[in-house]
Structure 1
Amino acid sequence: MMALRMLVVCCSCWLLLTAAEIPNIIYPFTSTCAVEGSTVTLPCSFTPLTSVTEGRKTIYRKIVRVVWCRNHLICHGPTPTVYDSEIQRTSRFQYLGDMETVCTLQIWNIQSYDGGTFRFRMEVNDTVGHFTNRTGVTVKVSDGVQMEISSSGNHSELRKGGAVTLRCSSHCTTHRLEVTWFRDGHALPESGPALQLSPLSAEHSGNYTCRLKAKARTTSQPFSLKVEGLEGANPALIAGVTCGVLLAGVALIVSLVFIRRARAAAAENSRAEEQTQQQDTSREVEDVSYASVHFKQFNQARKAVQDEDAVIYSSVSGRG
């Protein structure tokens, strides 16, 4: 029984050591979808065979070449490659990895003919350490997919001074989008899939659309954004402010009405006083005129009497 246990332990240790010496390549996902014209990243990591033991001697291995190919099982020999560390060339396929543990590949401006299964291969200075993960990553490229806009907010009406993020995407999973943003048909300077608007103001209101660069047929449906005037206000505060404004308006109107009525009454009293004064003045003038006429008539009558008395006295004197 003890011998059996020792055998199991020894076999387990041997398996662990053997596994540690087996090279490995890991893809976080084995398939993805990309919109034509977008940029796709294929994450990848690898564990090379760094050493082997021959008898009592340890021989260290070194990575001398890394390769990405499309639609080939092991990417060996003269197989056409999309990336080869031994070949310096300008390409839409960029290697974002190294010669140690990272093997990520990025494809810029992917086209429909780029679709297929991509595989990574590492080679060391001994053919024993060469390795390719045959699973690979299958990329499907969609052409003419309409983009969609989503908002970080719960609705399209936002408050002044707040913030919102609009995202341009499609039903086809992509890792990076180079897009053009528009507001009311006018191009915006931002080019990333996320458009951040902060702090919000009235000028941010409008209809937003997005599309992949140079791909007009991918233009999204308009997304309407409306920025309201009150910053950070809630319905209760808006109602309170509205009622306060209305009450102040009513009070102002009532005050203006009273002021106008008071001014009208004062003006009416002033006109009545002026009319009374004019009437009093007219009466005084009439009284003076009447007295003058009456006095004149009295003087004329007195003079006539005097003239008559003088005639009578003259007559009597002549007779005597």
Structure 2
Amino acid sequence: MYSFMLLLTGAAAAATVSYPDPVCAVRGSTVVLPCTFTPQSSFTQGGRLVPLKIIRVRWCVNHEICQLTTPSVYDSKTPTANPRYKYLGDMTGNCTLQISDIQEIDSTTFRFRMEADNRAGHFTGKSGVNVTVIDFVKMKIQSSEAAEDLNQNQHVTLTCSTSVCNFHQLEVTWFKDGNALLPSGPTLQLGPLTAKDSGNYTCALKTNQKTTSLPFAVRVEEEEEEEEKGLLDTDRSDTLLILGVLFGVLLLLSLILFLIRRKVSAAGKEQTAGGEMDQKQPDIIYSNFLPPAERQQEVEQEVEPEGEEVSYASVQFRHTNPARAPEQEAGDVIYSSLASK
């Protein structure tokens, strides 16, 4: 019964390898093949449980078993076999492989094999991962946010890829306005955005600048600038308002001064006219200079008002005729009559 349980435990702890989906790569790029494995922890021998330890790992191509004399792209016993292949894993569970400057020869199936300190622990993941290598293509940038929707303090993710392949990991070079940036992964994180992030972004495979993508424009306007703009507009409006008020006040003052001057001028004219009238208007004295006959007729026609004393004076002049003799001039008579009632 105990041996049966050990057999069940050994069977349950069988080795496994987990590969990524098929990989598409652009020639000259660097590609990472994510991989994990679970080694067999022990085996039974002579009715007892014997632990296992992984002592060698390998990546090979074009072979299902990946053993004996099969060419390996990576072998932990000879890690410098080919510098283009770099093992990023360990001996316990990570079997990730990185391929640099990938070439057409790498268009094949890669398989991982683990070897333990006992043959019972040797295992190869037969399914492997299929890699397809294509020729140079232009990279393209995809954004998590539309360019016209970018605002200050927002976060955006730019992804460098192609329309032909889906990359698990890709070494690319990012550029801003033609200047290289530090990030080398297929994604570029920007944020929180400021006006300094504005510019034209491009990407290309790290090993080939011919794959440079079309530019992706990022335009971010600072809120402070908008506030300053608003303040300037407000100041401009306030200035116009102040100027308008001042103009209105000056216009009102001008009108008041005009009315005051007009009133003063009119008063001066009235005083001048009044003075002239006082100086020129004499006492009215009525005097009739009529011939005696006409004066007598006038006196008879006048009606004396009651209670008033009226004095009449009549003066008659006879003009001297220059043609007459001097002796006759002495005979001229001047009539004057005074009547009192």
TM class by shorter-chain length? 0.5 to 0.7
Do 2:6 and 2:49's aligned partners in 1 also have CA atoms closer than 8 Å? no
Match of 2:184 in 1: 191
Return the letter of the residue paired with 2:35: C
* Superposition TM-score, scaled by structure 2 size: 0.61
Do 2:38 and 2:93's aligned partners in 1 also have CA atoms closer than 8 Å? yes
Distance 1:40 1:259, change over 3 A: farther
Query: How far apart, CA to CA, are the structure 2 residues paired with 1:30 and 1:198?
Result: 31
Shift of 1:225: 1.7
Q: Choose which of 82, 90, 94 in structure 1 pairs with 2:86.
A: 94
Question: Which residues in structure 2 correspond to 1:189-228 (within 5 Å)?
Answer: 189-228=182-221
Match of 2:244 in 1: 254
Shift of 1:91: 1.4
| Higher share of residues assigned helix | 1
Q: Choose which of 93, 99, 104 in structure 2 pairs with 1:107.
A: 99
Q: Number of residue pairs matched?
A: 256
Do 1:66 and 1:121's aligned partners in 2 also have CA atoms closer than 8 Å? yes
Mark the structure with the bigger radius of gyration.
Answer: 2
Match of 2:45 in 1: 54
Counterpart secondary structure, 1:120: strand
Query: How far apart, CA to CA, are the structure 2 residues paired with 1:13 and 1:166?
Result: 54
Shift of 1:212: 1.4
Do 1:160 and 1:232's aligned partners in 2 also have CA atoms closer than 8 Å? no
2:31 paired with 1:32: no
2:112 paired with 1:120: yes
Distance 1:60 1:232, change over 3 A: farther
Higher relative contact order (CA 8 A, sep 6+): 1
Distance 1:227 1:135, change over 3 A: same
* Superposition TM-score, scaled by structure 1 size: 0.65
Q: Which runs of 5+ in 1 are unaligned?
A: 1-8, 277-320
Query: How far apart, CA to CA, are the structure 1 residues paired with 2:188 and 2:114?
Result: 40
Shift of 1:148: 1.8
Shift of 1:191: 3.3
Counterpart secondary structure, 2:67: coil
RMSD, matched Cα:
3.9
Query: How far apart, CA to CA, are the structure 2 residues paired with 1:68 and 1:131?
Result: 12
Counterpart secondary structure, 2:220: strand
Match of 1:66 in 2: 57
Distance 1:58 1:229, change over 3 A: closer
1:89-145 superposed Cα distances (whole Å, 9 cap, x missing partner): 161212222223322222233233222100011222333432212110111123223
Q: Choose which of 134, 148, 153 in structure 2 pairs with 1:142.
A: 134
Match of 1:85 in 2: 76
Query: How far apart, CA to CA, are the structure 2 residues paired with 1:162 and 1:17?
Result: 53
Counterpart secondary structure, 1:37: coil
